[in-house]
Amino acid sequence: MHSRNRTNRALALLLPAGLIGASTILASAHATAVRPATAATGDAAVERDVANRLAYIRTTLATDLTETRPAGTKASKLILAWMNFGGFGWRNGGWRNGGWRNWGNGWHNWGNGWHNWGNGGWHNFWHNW
Amino acid sequence: MSAMPLPEAPVTDRTPSITTVVVQPTPFCNIACRYCYLPDRDSTARMSLDTVRATFEAVFASGWSLPDLTVIWHAGEPLAVPAAWYQEAFELIDALRPQGIRVRHAFQTNGTLITPDWCALFRRWDVGVGVSIDGPREIHDANRVNRKGRGTFDKTLAGIACLQAEDVPFHVISVLSAPSLADPEGMLAFYVDNGIADICFNVEESEGDHVSSLLAERSAKDLFSDFLIRFWHRSRHDESVRFLREIDRMLERIMDPTNASVENAQVNPFGMVNVDCKGNVSSFSPELLGMKHAGYDNFIVGNVHHDSLEDMLRSSSMRAMQRDISAGVKACKAECAYFSVCGGGSPINKLTENGSFSTTHTRFCDLIEKVPTDIILDALSDLERTIEHDVPLRSAV
């Protein structure tokens, strides 16, 4: 079970970073985290948690998270420093223009769009796109 | 397998929104990848400019094109058709294009035929270019060979070098097989060494005559997850990759600040319009062009030389496919936790893996939707703990 307040604070930190900035922050957190031991849960419970998490994230991001942004924590200070000095993201702040939904100048089919072109043909590819 | 009786009325009265036109100018491919299943890759048939004209007259006359329309030239090897042919085709499409609609062309190529002349065409028309390269020589040449069985690595890399020298942006798509899945650090080093910054991965699949030993293994999902995590961490740590499609596109869908429904053009009639070199049209998935199925009239809904898109939308084939695909999407929505970031899956994978459009879960879902989503949600939980306990973030390795 995830605390909604905790999720709000994390999302408030990620959203202004843009796509590549968020990807970098999450990769850092994921690579360095010490995860607590958890009791084994069934597949159904895991799937319910995924569905609830996704629904909550998307609903929350449609609201204003400005007031929720965690200022003064070590993580937020380091992220702010990175954002100001281009320490992460794509070569000196390219992530700033990465934005959400602005990747590739709005070309909606980035990567040839389809996850469906497989091993170099149409399929077996799929994702050949 | 035969289709069930058709409903009296269309399954949905939703007006189509065409996001993409996929055009197969030729089925021919100049190489012969070992994992390719395409049956007609020896045919040198070529689409006529009359067929190009008929295709885009039909698309624009329908009024269904979105303001930003992507035209993907794919087949076969699209660069097996001369650049001069595309110059004429692009001019023709531009002349037909109504005001208010922007068209962007894109190629997916094996890269072996790229020359400065091609680069001039790419720059002139702001073409999106994707190059298929599977990684270092020994991995690439294991599958991507010419008709004599010789590897194509050198020619593909020369094509990439030409794009770079001519300042043409491009991305790569790499098909992952067992050796590459075991070595994400080696794969990343290859991209870095060759100045490749925009990367997409496909996992080798079983299709047609090709049977992938990889996906026969139950561990494919775990192998891919481990690969993706290691590649993501390392590439973000050293800023060596600008765009990693599998993570970054999913992240964009999860963190959509508009909370809009995911638009899955693969499940909507004419979300994409797929046209072969003779003008035959399919929808939903480009792979359906050339496949056989009695219940769906071989997936062909009409021909641009004889039929309007309105006619094709009413065809028995389109209605049968729409009915079954909609049933599959409805079932996905009812049972799958990942529906909000997926929108109902890939019909072609449902058909090839499960035998029916109206089914739900596929191994393809595991790799493309579930693995990236799970990785991102895990990382978000880690970030929450980092903030809560006020511990510093370190670099991503």
Q: Measured between CB atoms, which of B106, B237, B337 is closest to A47?
A: B337
Residue type, A81: A
Measured CA to CA, the distance from residue A20 to residue B248 in angstroms comes to 7
Contact (CB<8Å) B397/A31:
yes
DSSP letter string over B140-181? HHHH-B-TTS-B-HHHHHHHHHHHHHTT---EEEEEE-HHHH
Q: What is the ipTM of this complex?
A: 0.85
Instruction: Judge whether B163 lies within some domain.
Output: yes
pLDDT in the model for residue A38? 63
CB-based contact (8 Å) between B266 and chain A? yes
A74-85 and A4-14 helices cross at what angle (nearest 10)?
20
How distant is the Cα of B2 from the closest Cα of chain A, in angstroms? 23
pLDDT of residue A84: 44
DSSP A69-92: ---SSHHHHHHHHHHHHT-STTTT
To which residue do tokens 């900035």 refer? A21
The answer to whether the beta carbons of residues B373 and A25 sit under 8 Å apart is: no
Would you call A16 helix, strand, or coil by DSSP? helix
pLDDT of residue A117: 37
Q: Do residues B237 and B188 touch, judged by C-beta distance below 8 A? A: no
CB neighbours of residue B98 within 10 Å: 9
Interface A-B, measured as beta-carbon pairs within 8 A, has a size of 307
Please give the distance of CA B62 from its chain centroid, rounded to a whole number: 24
Mean pLDDT by 10 residues, chain B (397 residues): 46 79 93 82 93 98 93 90 97 97 91 98 93 96 94 98 95 91 96 94 66 62 94 88 88 75 84 95 88 90 97 96 96 94 89 93 89 95 86 60
State the residue range of the domain holding B242.
18-254
Report the predicted TM-score, pTM, of the whole model to 2 decimal places.
0.85
Q: What is the total count of domains within chain B?
A: 1
Q: What is the CATH number of the domain that holds B29?
A: 3.20.20.70
Instruction: Note whether residue B125 is domain-resident.
Output: yes
CA distance B69 to chain A (A): 9
Residue B180: CB atoms within 10 Å: 23
Nearest to B271 by CA among B25, B19, B91, B23: B19
Q: Is B202 in the A-facing interface, judged by CB distances under 8 Å?
A: yes
Residue B53's CB is within 10 A of a number of other CB atoms, namely: 17
Domain coordinates in residue numbering, chain A:
1-30+44-98
Kindly report, residue by residue over A68-117, the tens digit of the pLDDT.
Answer: 656 666 666 555 555 444 443 333 333 333 344 333 333 333 333 333 33
**Residue A9: pLDDT over 70:** yes
Asked if residue B379 belongs to a domain, the reply is no
Shortest CA distance from B211: residue in chain A: A124
Question: Which of these, A13, A46, A22, A18, lies nearest to A103 by C-alpha position?
Answer: A18
CB contact under 8 A, B384 and A90: no
Rounded to a whole number, what is the distance in Å from the CA of B308 to chain A's nearest CA?
Answer: 25
Beta bridge partners of B302: B281
- Inter-chain CB proximity A128 and B128 less than 8 Å: no
Whether A31 and B200 lie within 8 Å, measured CB to CB:
no
pLDDT number for residue A46: 66
For residue B96, being part of any structural domain is answered with yes
Strand partners, B151: B145
**B70 contacts A113? CB cut-off 8 A:** yes
Q: What's the confidence (pLDDT) of residue A128?
A: 37
Q: Which residues of B, range 318-337, sit inside 8 Å of A by Cβ?
A: 336-337
pLDDT, residue B264, reads 83
pLDDT value for A119:
36
